[in-house]
Amino acid sequence: MTAGGPAATASSATAWLRTVRVTVQLKPGVLDAQGQAIKKGLDALGHGGVTALRAGRYYEIQMPDAPDLEARIRAMCEGLLANTLIEDFRYDVE
Amino acid sequence: MTIGIVVFPGSNCDADTHHALRGVLGQDARYVWHQETSLDGLDAVILPGGFSYGDYLRAGAIAATSPVMRALRGYAAAGGPVLGICNGFQTLVEMRLLPGALLLNAPGEFRCQHVRIRVERTDTPFTCAMREGDVLRVPIAHGEGRYYASDRELARLTLERQIAFRYCDAAGHVTLAASPNGAIDNIAGVASVSGTVLGLMPHPERASEAIVGSADGLRIFESLARWIAAHPVREAVMRARPAGPAAQAGASGEAR
């Protein structure tokens, strides 16, 4: 939590809200055509020193805290947010 | 004989498919809105091409969560023929009704061109009027069509004869240069083990009349009409209904 931020003045109900940050990326070894195109763009702008770039997706999710919070996050990732055949996901909870 | 064409927000080949079936072949066809919950009375179901939900998340991923898809799982499990074209194929792999995944094309570009595909399997409702090795000239129009499967999955696909179509040259040779998207093993279409669920990236409905440059795609719909006439699908699906809800619950509860 950010000290003195909105959380400090928020009602007690929001204290139960957690922020989940999920990042999804193609598994290593799966060709990342988007990442390669972005790297080419960087090259074109003169940033030729970039040796590798992998693209990904990022989600911020707010949900109430619960004893099974992590299990629910994993189920959401495996069920929709990531295609686990081709993508890895990682998350942190604040 | 009635063939259902599922319409999602963002489908754009539904009318073309309807025209190929009804206007060209004279088969009965009707649209099925994605919020419908029953596929009763349909002899086959087609998921058409397009950009359902704007390809948000991953192509086909949101369409896979539609209410009608719960019915589709039961329909497919009961042996009903299901064809996914382009975005429909992407949706079927997102639902795990077909193996593998479809990734951004290797050249990183949207590809809109005619390609040739070789028929690799003929004991399916969509290829039964063809011979193995036949070459069809059909168009593609996709950004995410690079078929991918892990080495282990690919070995299984090959063993189970699940590869239905491969990109090839005019002579029917499967070459790297013939693939427009970098698909593994030049795979353009795959089928379920039984063959009744099939997905492909090319658009047969856009190649169903000589006036549009090729009528080769019509052979897929002609196959389907022949299959339906020879297989009492509707009765089989109806008979399977008592087991339907349980099978459906099991399928939708499956971890992805």
Each residue's pLDDT, cut to its tens digit, for chain B (256 residues) gives: 899 999 999 999 999 999 999 999 999 999 999 999 999 999 999 999 999 999 999 999 999 999 999 999 999 999 999 999 999 999 999 999 999 999 999 988 999 999 999 999 999 999 999 999 999 999 999 999 999 999 999 999 999 999 999 999 999 999 999 999 999 999 999 999 999 999 999 999 999 999 999 999 999 999 999 999 998 766 666 555 544 444 443 343 333 3
Contact B92, B63 (CB under 8 A): no
Could you tell me if residue A11 is inside a domain?
no
In the DSSP assignment, the letter for residue A27 is P
Within the 217-256 window of chain B, which residues sit less than 8 Å (CB to CB) from chain A?
255-256
User: Closest partner residue to B61 among A31, A37, A80, by Cβ?
Assistant: A80
Could you tell me if residue A7 is inside a domain?
no
User: Closest partner residue to B256 among A34, A36, A84, by Cβ?
Assistant: A84
| Residue contact A33–B65, C-beta within 8 A | no
Contacts of B58 in chain A (CB under 8 A): 83
CATH number at residue A52: 3.30.1280.10
Touching check for B148 and chain A: CB below 8 Å? yes
| pLDDT at residue B239, as a whole number | 57
Contacts of B107 in chain A (CB under 8 A): 33
Could you tell me if residue A12 is inside a domain?
no
Name the least confident of A10-24, A30-44, B206-220. A10-24
Name the least confident of A38-47, A49-58, A63-72, B42-51. A38-47
Report residue A14's pLDDT band, with 50, 70 and 90 as the boundaries: low
Domain hosting residue A61, numbered range: 17-93
Angle A85-B202-B73 from CA coordinates, rounded to 5°: 50
User: Closest partner residue to A31 among B94, B106, B255, by Cβ?
Assistant: B106
Could you tell me if residue A77 is inside a domain?
yes
| Residue contact A86–B256, C-beta within 8 A | no
User: Closest partner residue to B103 among A78, A80, A86, by Cβ?
Assistant: A86
Of the residues B18, B34, B142, B203, only one is catalytic, namely B203
Within the 56-75 window of chain A, which residues sit less than 8 Å (CB to CB) from chain B?
57, 75
> What are the φ and ψ backbone dihedral angles of A57, each rounded to 5 degrees?
-125, 150
Domain count, chain A: 1
CATH number at residue B106: 3.40.50.880
| pLDDT at residue B231, as a whole number | 86
| Residue contact B104–A83, C-beta within 8 A | no
| Residue contact B108–A85, C-beta within 8 A | no
Domain count, chain B: 1
ipTM: 0.75
Could you tell me if residue A39 is inside a domain?
yes
Could you tell me if residue A55 is inside a domain?
yes
Could you tell me if residue A5 is inside a domain?
no
Distance from CA of A44 to the nearest CA of B (A): 16
Could you tell me if residue A4 is inside a domain?
no
Domain hosting residue B190, numbered range: 2-252
What is the pTM (predicted TM-score) of this model?
0.86
Residue B140 backbone zone (phi > 0: left; psi -120 to 50: alpha; other: beta) = beta
